[in-house]
């Protein structure tokens, strides 16, 4: 019994850490408006959109007509990428950054995966802290009804 409790505790702790890395907000705006606002926030923060994955659309085209809209927006900033490569090349694996937008019919969820703040390199941890602030601001702007929220974040 103790082994099962210990195993479940370890499993739950692992899940808690994973969930802490996802930052999300819900919105009552339309899916199209959330996508548009996410794109605006990304470019306003000096990032370049590198790709869009139309996951929901692709699944619908495969025959699941009722599948909800899902979009993944990938983006990068070459200055930040260069800085990361100079500090520690292996951390480039966190690029590009992404924002996901999911329609649940009741609301739209905007989310991103935050970067780890505790790395073995203090310079990289500082860079990741700055990137996380930007990622949060993109999510908050995309979900918000306030068009001036970027100035407040």
What domains are defined for the chain? 24-152 (3.30.310.70)
Rounded distance between C-alpha atoms, residue 101 and residue 111, angstroms: 7
pLDDT in tens, 55-84: 999 999 999 888 999 999 999 999 999 999
Peptide bond into 96 cis (omega under 30): yes
Q: How many helices (H) and strands (E) does the chain have?
A: 6, 5
Q: Is 141 buried (19+), middle (13-18) or exposed (0-12) by CB count in 10 A?
A: buried
pLDDT in tens, 114-149: 999 888 889 999 999 999 999 999 999 999 987 666
CA Rg value for the chain: 18
- The pLDDT-based confidence of 30 (bands split at 50, 70, 90) is very high
Helix (H) or strand (E) holding 23: strand 22-27
Rounded distance between C-alpha atoms, residue 80 and residue 9, angstroms: 38
Rounded distance between C-alpha atoms, residue 44 and residue 31, angstroms: 20
* Average model confidence (pLDDT) across the chain: 86
Q: Are 78 and 92 in contact (CB under 8 A)?
A: no
Q: SS3 of 116, please?
A: coil
Q: SS3 of 118, please?
A: coil
């Amino acid at each position: 019994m103790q082994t099962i409790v210990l195993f479940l505790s370890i499993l739950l702790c692992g899940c808690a850490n994973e969930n802490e890395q996802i930052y999300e907000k819900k919105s009552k705006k339309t899916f199209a408006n959330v996508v548009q606002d996410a794109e605006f926030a990304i470019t306003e923060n000096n990032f370049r959109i590198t790709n869009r994955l139309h996951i929901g659309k692709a699944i619908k085209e495969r025959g699941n007509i009722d599948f909800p809209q899902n979009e993944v927006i990938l983006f990068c900033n070459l200055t930040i990428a260069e800085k990361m490569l100079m500090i520690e090349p292996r951390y480039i694996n966190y690029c590009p950054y992404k924002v996901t937008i999911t329609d649940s019919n009741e609301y739209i969820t905007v989310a991103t995966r935050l970067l780890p703040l505790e790395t073995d390199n203090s310079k990289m941890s500082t860079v990741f802290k700055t990137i996380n602030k930007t990622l949060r601001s993109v999510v908050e702007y995309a979900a918000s009804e306030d068009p001036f929220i970027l100035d407040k974040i």
